[in-house]
């Protein structure tokens, strides 16, 4: 057993349903076999656990590991391609790089960069948009398993309108998806997600093959894109003759295990269908701004009971940090004025943690620091004298401290990251001091 000491902030009660931020100043969490078995103030917990090793994370704050609902593994090396709308950016920036992952040794290098980027930003669970190549998907599952990251991922499939070398057939898509799901779904912390790229690049036959793949892997997820860009949406309407969500739903692809990214321009029937099916939307605010896709209508999602959580959407998104996504989500709602949702720091933390855990069906395992959850955590501890350090020193309350973390925090401030109670990221020097026994 290990006793972690620090200031713990989490959101076990949904702030969108009236819940408040939970803050434990100088708190303690005892972890046994990766699971939280006790929590409380350090003084009281230490009195009951005198012999346990203490990991001292005092100073800064300890947050639940982030849950990134939408992040593209093959795009880590093209982050920062600005100045283009979605379809141009795909053609000029993303897809040429994605084609390089046909080379499995290249893909292995990308997988290393990708997993390091995620855990370095405090992300411990992610729904990862994979590659069009089975060998590359294997590479990202392998690297995530080596580091310990909790990922759900799968083979991306398309059979029209993308460059030729990224296309497949319905038969091959089914065969390769099922083979990958057999290898990885439920192996360690990995799970499988059937992944049609977007219905723009998928025929009805391919979407039907996706439904077959889903049926062949019970408990697997389904992830794709929806309603991101007005030109894209018009094309989907021309090709499928229906609203965007219906293009998936017709094939039985929209349910509680479905996560669709973006949904910037939904129709009311789209939202009603998502709400009815219990599907979730990944809100990717830096990507929506970078590609000029639009302002996310969070209030309309809430009105239809659609579950929403944050995604970084690397590489259209501008980095791995869900602190930046949370801040950008806040900006967008501010810019929407009366149509926006007023987001407090607790909402941002919830969208970056527990909301994602819920959308991924992992709410009983991760997303907050309640007893019984697995200890997935990040220690945000800025270097002395940095603006965040100054900000935290002068915060008036826990909410205020959290607001400053979202406003000023970056991956450079994430000193250590734990999954199932084991350190997975953090410099040796930091780890050594973090592991100081009190």
Please say whether the beta carbons of 140 and 108 come within 8 A.
Answer: no
Q: Which one of 86-94, 106-114, 299-307, 385-393 is the stretch in contact with ligand GUN (CB under 6 A)?
A: 86-94
CA distance 152 to 173: 18
CA distance 176 to 157: 10
Is residue 313 within the footprint of ligand GUN (CB under 6 A)? Answer: yes
CA atoms within 13 A on the CB side of 142: 15
**Least Cβ distance, residue 310 to Zn ion (angstroms):** 13
* Among 5, 150, 191, 225, contact with ligand GUN (rule: CB under 6 A): 225
Q: Look up tokens 């690397």; give the residue.
A: 314
- Would you say 90 or 279 has its CB closer to ligand GUN? 90
Please say whether the beta carbons of 134 and 180 come within 8 A.
Answer: yes
Tell me which residue of 140, 134, 92 sits closest to 113, measured CA to CA: 140
Site string for ligand GUN, 260-299 (x = CB under 6 A): ---------------------------x------------
- Would you say 190 or 261 has its CB closer to Zn ion? 261
Please say whether the beta carbons of 266 and 227 come within 8 A.
Answer: yes
Q: Which does residue 197 bind out of ligand GUN, Zn ion, none, counting CB within 5 to 8 angstroms by kind?
A: ligand GUN
396 CB-contact burial (10 Å; exposed 0-12 / middle 13-18 / buried 19+): exposed
Site residues for ligand GUN, 91-110, by CB under 6 A, read 94
**Least Cβ distance, residue 228 to Zn ion (angstroms):** 8
For helices 398-408 and 345-352, angle between their N-to-C axes, nearest 10 degrees: 60
**Least Cβ distance, residue 130 to Zn ion (angstroms):** 11
Please say whether the beta carbons of 286 and 313 come within 8 A.
Answer: yes
Site string for Zn ion, 243-282 (x = CB under 5 A): ------------------x---------------------
Please say whether the beta carbons of 43 and 51 come within 8 A.
Answer: no
Q: Contacts with ligand GUN: how many residues (CB under 6 A)?
A: 11
Is residue 316 within the footprint of ligand GUN (CB under 6 A)? Answer: yes
Residue 200, φ and ψ in degrees, nearest 5: -60, -40
**Least Cβ distance, residue 210 to Zn ion (angstroms):** 17
Using CB under 6 A as the criterion, which residues of the chain lie in contact with ligand GUN when the complex forms?
72, 86, 90, 94, 197-198, 225, 228, 287, 313, 316
Using CB under 5 A as the criterion, which residues of the chain lie in contact with Zn ion when the complex forms?
261, 313
């Amino acid at each position: 057993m290990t006793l972690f000491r620090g200031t713990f902030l989490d959101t076990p009660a949904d702030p969108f349903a009236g819940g408040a931020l939970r803050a434990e100043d100088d708190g303690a969490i005892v972890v046994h076999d990766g699971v939280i078995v006790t929590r409380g103030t350090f003084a009281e917990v230490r009195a009951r656990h005198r012999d346990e090793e203490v990991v001292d994370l005092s100073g800064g704050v300890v947050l639940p590991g982030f849950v990134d609902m939408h992040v593209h593994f093959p795009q880590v090396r093209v982050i920062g391609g600005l100045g283009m709308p979605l379809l141009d950016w795909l053609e000029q920036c993303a897809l040429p790089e994605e084609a390089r992952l046909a080379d499995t040794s290249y893909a292995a290098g990308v997988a290393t960069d990708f997993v390091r980027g995620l855990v370095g930003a405090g992300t411990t669970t992610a729904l990862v948009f994979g590659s069009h190549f089975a060998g590359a998907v294997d590479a990202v599952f392998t690297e995530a398993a080596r580091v310990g990251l909790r990922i759900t991922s799968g083979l991306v499939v398309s059979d029209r309108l993308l460059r030729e070398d990224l296309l497949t057939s319905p038969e091959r898509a089914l065969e390769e998806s099922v083979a990958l799901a057999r290898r990885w779904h439920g192996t360690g912390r990995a799970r499988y997600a059937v992944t049609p790229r977007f219905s723009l690049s998928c025929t009805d036959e391919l979407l039907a093959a996706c439904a077959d793949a889903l049926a062949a892997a019970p408990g697997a997820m389904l992830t794709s894109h929806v309603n991101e860009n007005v030109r894209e949406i018009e094309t989907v309407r021309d090709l499928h003759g229906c609203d965007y969500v219906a293009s998936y739903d017709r094939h039985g692809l929209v349910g509680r295990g479905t996560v669709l990214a973006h949904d910037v321009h939904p129709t009311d029937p789209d939202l009603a269908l998502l709400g009815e099916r219990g599907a979730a939307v990944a809100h990717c605010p830096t990507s929506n701004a970078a590609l000029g896709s639009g302002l996310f209508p969070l209030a309309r999602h809430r009105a239809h009971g659609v579950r929403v959580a944050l995604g970084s959407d690397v590489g259209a998104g501008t980095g791995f940090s869900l602190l930046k996504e949370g801040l950008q989500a806040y900006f967008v709602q501010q810019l929407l004025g009366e149509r926006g949702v007023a987001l407090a720091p607790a909402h941002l933390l919830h969208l970056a943690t527990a909301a994602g855990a819920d959308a991924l069906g992992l709410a009983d395992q991760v997303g907050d620091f309640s007893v019984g959850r697995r200890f997935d955590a990040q220690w945000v501890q800025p270097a002395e004298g940095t603006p965040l350090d100054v900000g935290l020193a002068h915060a008036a309350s826990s909410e205020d401290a959290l607001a400053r973390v979202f406003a000023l925090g970056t991956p450079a401030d994430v000193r250590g990251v734990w999954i199932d109670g084991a350190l997975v990221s953090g410099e040796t020097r930091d780890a050594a001091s973090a592991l100081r026994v009190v």
